[in-house]
Structure 1
């Protein structure tokens, strides 16, 4: 439905989602002059000349008053397109073509936003693909549509649609936009390359004159952006099977490069790696620092934590001990075991 609405809107056609099980309609086309055309939406991965007749029988209803139906598929062969058209059915081939027919309505057009080259398996598709993958893995049972993801990630719907298409082509999301577990996690781990710097001191969580400049974000932790504890120390707080000594240098994610530069300037650079007090990293995706966890009610830790997903992604960078830890760790809520 998201793809259909996006395709229609790219042609200047107004369409809205309207879930109505009683009247069996999913979207409504709004024509100039106030006329509205209700449509059912049926989705599948493939429609061919061999499958189309059985699919039409399965999707048809006995009632003569049924709304017109639009078939949305990843691929519709040329013969199947002809069969759908002869039967008076509309269709959207997600490779980039829409045919939409109804009273006072005729659309037969390529959709440039969908007509993209085939995506080969060469890693996640840029920054948007990484952000979308992280969003899906935070709550793997929740269906997230294109427009909802675009809003949550502050991205254009067209960019999100492209990223979903890339993930689907790689077999990393299903037809309902849910992540394929654990494949998507390990693909994301391959692209998880945070940039960081060691520092000679760490700020005091409860105060200090430099805290405002460092944008720690210690107030309203779960509704604001700020620093977040990650990697080994955070794993220990979450109960992962890690063994660390007292005073182990903590690792933090910060929201942006500017905060990283300011942290290095104010906290200093250690003379040697063994003398470092901690490490500060730029969050690979904004969700790291905007979806923080307040652990003060259930653990002796005053620093906000990253979501367990991001701890796991950090641990996964160690192909030895880190991955051994992941093998036996099931995180506490709000985390989900996606590896």
Structure 2
């Protein structure tokens, strides 16, 4: 037993070494991250503003979209500002508590977003497959309860994973080969055989994620079968176009997350590893406002009231 404890390291901080040491490259990364962060911030804030003040954007779909934008702002704000600050100050350190907080908040917001995407798929199912009962099914109280359940499930999800990751001993190096603290990279620093609990949590989480994904696929299968029965081709296109933004967001979110967490070796500091982590952290929050607003007539009309019809007609 004493021999096993000799290699245990008391870590008070971690070093985020995802970016190269070259200061010019670090400043380029910082500039890129800052631009993407500002774009994501402005786009999501715009959606929150429009869905709050415009009376035509008060349906359940836009209520869920407002919450999705809020989640995206929180999600991207957990890692990007700290990474930009580290690059500009040429500092790589993050405290143990700061790292644990990053892990909790990232998993919290990612879990909440995934649960909310399931709710949004159910909303599309109710709207297209049960149009006569839609208002009764998706009443204000039900929508609020579903959003609360999404946030609560994300909180539970984050708490479980931060407990599983940081209730172990770390051996040797405190270098994390990423621009932020993430679970796969941290597990490579854990003493041998102590990762089992977190691996169990990951397997169980992916089990729940698979169930959620199956429910999404089932809802869209019903939606597609209903749309195909619409006699008018124009009606089929119009109905299906209301689902395409959500389906695109789900595909983007799940594919980038799967690749970042399962498809790469977290022990390496390869450019591909870093690129996929950046993709998972930046792409969904940045593209969600674009996907949901550019092909949505109601959003264009709301934008037209603020910025003028000429701007929106050119979109």
Normalization by structure 1: what TM-score? 0.20
More strand by share: 1
Structure of larger gyration radius = 1
Higher relative contact order (CA 8 A, sep 6+): 2
